[in-house]
Amino acid sequence: MDRRNLRRVATRLGELDCQVVDGLAEGTVPDLAVILCHGLGAAGTDLVSLVPELMAMEPVLAERVRFVVPAGPLTMAQWGMPQGRAWFHLPEAFMRGQMRDWEAYSKEVPEGLPAARRALMSVVDALSTTSKLPYGRIVLGGFSQGGMVTTDVALRLEERPAGLFILSGTLIAEAEWKQKAQARQGLPVFQGHGRHDDVLPFATGERLRDALVQSGLSVDFFPFDGPHTLDVEELERLAAFLKARLGD
């Protein structure tokens, strides 16, 4: 994909500042939209560079898909990251690298998650309106905490989205997610997780996968030999997943 042919626009959709990236001709309505959410502490624009990589792997994405990269609503300045953003704050034990009981945490509804959900839902609504796309033509996903908030939203939208992708995410709000997932049976999900993840342990990704599969979602789970990061083959699989959501 020739990056010179990409259009990138900074705008506000709903409650959040967003970067909108596509290679569509001016005035063209996309066939699909993808919302891509960053992880805890990253800059709001962190994953913009991922878009041309995915388009290079599957060129049809440049021709037919609009990508939206929102910035989380919270600042991480108090943790020494003035450019860092968050969707919701995690426990201090996590921030200090002392988080141990992930099973207990998975059962909690993190403080701030409902507000993050509302903010991201406002982006979905605005994107649907401006792009003239129903929810069923919008894919949601993200990395780490971005995968958590998009999972929460994908399970709660009034209509089923086109798909969900979770890159190094984890299970939270377990009881609520399992209950909401009953209405999402068959939802296509791509999930990747590093076996050597020392931030969100691999076992937490497996627990999330198992919860979604048991609820009837169609999960393509890709483990890779790496830490808390993005893997090249994982991205290739993600690009193919997004291409498949175009449906033809």
Q: What is the pLDDT of residues 75-86, one digit of tens each?
A: 888 877 888 999
Q: Is pLDDT at 56 greater than 80 in this prediction?
A: yes
User: CA gyration radius for the chain?
Assistant: 17
Cβ(239)–Cβ(58) below 8 Å: yes
Burial of 55 (C-beta count, 10 Å sphere; 0-12/13-18/19+): buried
Residue 196 neighbours by CB distance under 10 Å: 12
pLDDT attached to residue 103: 79
* Nearby residues of 107 by Cβ (< 8 Å), 6 or more positions away: 174, 175
pLDDT attached to residue 186: 96
Tokens 């990589």 label which residue? 53
Instruction: Write the DSSP assignment of 177-198 as a string of letters.
Output: HHHHHGGGTT-EEEEEEETT-S
pLDDT attached to residue 105: 82
Q: pLDDT confidence of 10, banded at 50, 70, 90? A: very high
Residue 132's closest CA among 7, 207, 27, 215? 27
Q: Is pLDDT at 102 greater than 90 in this prediction?
A: no
Residue 229's closest CA among 45, 89, 101, 39? 39
Quick: pLDDT tens for 160-212. 999 999 999 999 999 999 999 999 999 999 999 999 998 899 999 999 999 99
Quick: pLDDT tens for 117-168. 999 999 999 999 999 999 999 999 999 999 999 999 999 999 999 999 999 9
pLDDT attached to residue 81: 82
pLDDT attached to residue 76: 85
Instruction: For residue 123, give both structure tokens.
Output: 């982006």
What's the length of the chain?
248
pLDDT attached to residue 7: 92
Tokens 């377990």 label which residue? 174
In the predicted model, what is the mean pLDDT of the chain? 93
Q: Is pLDDT at 99 greater than 80 in this prediction?
A: no
Q: What is the pTM of this model?
A: 0.94
